[in-house]
């Protein structure tokens, strides 16, 4: 990932000459395609350019990785979300998007990652509470799931619990930001300093990826003991 790279990373000056040449030719080709579609009045038509095979990991990959999830519908849903994240991550690293559009793509990625983490937390609580024969209901909210995993089940440590709460709060703030009725927004509000906001949100996206990776690894290692 590009955690510490400057905003100019959208035009990486350190690419090999061969890659820069391919990038420029592909960009010109796409521009020519759009121009042709516009001339023919076909801008609303689906062209169907082939997506690079192998960049979106198959749902079966995630089903095998998260085999501790007992609810098959939940497992499939999380696998599809992970596939969507693969696609968006590729998009944000390949295209020269900027400012408000970049903010919205990063926004979408963060919400997606948080939803995967919440699903993993639910699945882990459900499985372990059943294994330990804990009679109370599985928490229904992200906050309760995190606390259950840390305070009661002792599956995750304090640092990860704190970071998951940070991700939960960030996700909630972004959902509020998406509501025109709340009158609230992430700081700074969109439009005050869009370039700086894009940098900040990208940094938070990378931090969210780190939290997700640690959670998945910790849960996978924990339940491997009982497989």
**Residue 13 confidence (pLDDT) above 60:** yes
Query: How many domains does the chain fold into?
Result: 1
- The answer to the question of residue 87 being in a domain is no
Query: Residues 6 or more apart from 206 whose CB is under 8 A from it?
Result: 1, 2, 3
**Residue 4 confidence (pLDDT) above 60:** no
- The per-residue DSSP string of 3-40 comes to TT--GGGGG-TTS-HHHHHHHHHHHHHHHHHHHHHHHT
pLDDT score of 185: 52
- The answer to the question of residue 32 being in a domain is no
- The answer to the question of residue 49 being in a domain is no
Q: Between these two residues, 216 and 179, which has the higher pLDDT value?
A: 216
State which residues form the domain around 126. Answer: 92-224
- The answer to the question of residue 59 being in a domain is no
- The answer to the question of residue 58 being in a domain is no
Could you report the per-residue pLDDT of 149-172, keeping only the tens digit for each?
999 999 999 999 999 999 999 998
3-class secondary-structure state, position 97:
coil
Q: Name the band, by pLDDT with cuts 50, 70 and 90, for residue 200.
A: confident
């Amino acid at each position: 990932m590009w955690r510490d790279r400057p905003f100019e990373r959208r035009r990486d000056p350190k690419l090999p000459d061969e890659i820069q040449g391919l990038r420029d030719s592909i960009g010109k080709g796409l521009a020519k395609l759009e121009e042709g579609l516009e001339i023919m009045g076909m801008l609303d038509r689906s062209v169907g350019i082939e997506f690079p095979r192998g960049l979106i990991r198959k749902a079966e990959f995630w089903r095998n990785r998260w085999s501790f999830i007992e609810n098959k519908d939940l497992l499939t849903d999380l696998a599809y979300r992970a596939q969507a994240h693969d696609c968006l991550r590729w998009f944000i690293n390949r295209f020269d998007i900027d400012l408000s559009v970049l903010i919205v793509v990063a926004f979408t990625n963060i919400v997606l990652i948080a939803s995967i983490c919440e699903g993993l937390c639910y699945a882990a609580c459900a499985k372990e509470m059943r294994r330990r024969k804990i009679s109370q209901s599985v928490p229904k909210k992200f906050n309760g799931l995190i606390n259950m995993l840390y305070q009661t089940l002792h599956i995750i440590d304090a640092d990860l619990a704190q970071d998951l709460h940070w991700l939960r709060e960030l996700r909630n703030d972004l959902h509020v930001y998406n509501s025109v009725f709340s009158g609230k927004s992430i700081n700074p509000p969109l439009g005050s300093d869009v370039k700086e906001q894009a940098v900040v949100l990208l940094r938070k996206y990378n931090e969210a990826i780190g939290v997700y990776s640690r959670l998945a690894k910790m849960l996978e290692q924990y339940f491997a003991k009982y497989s």
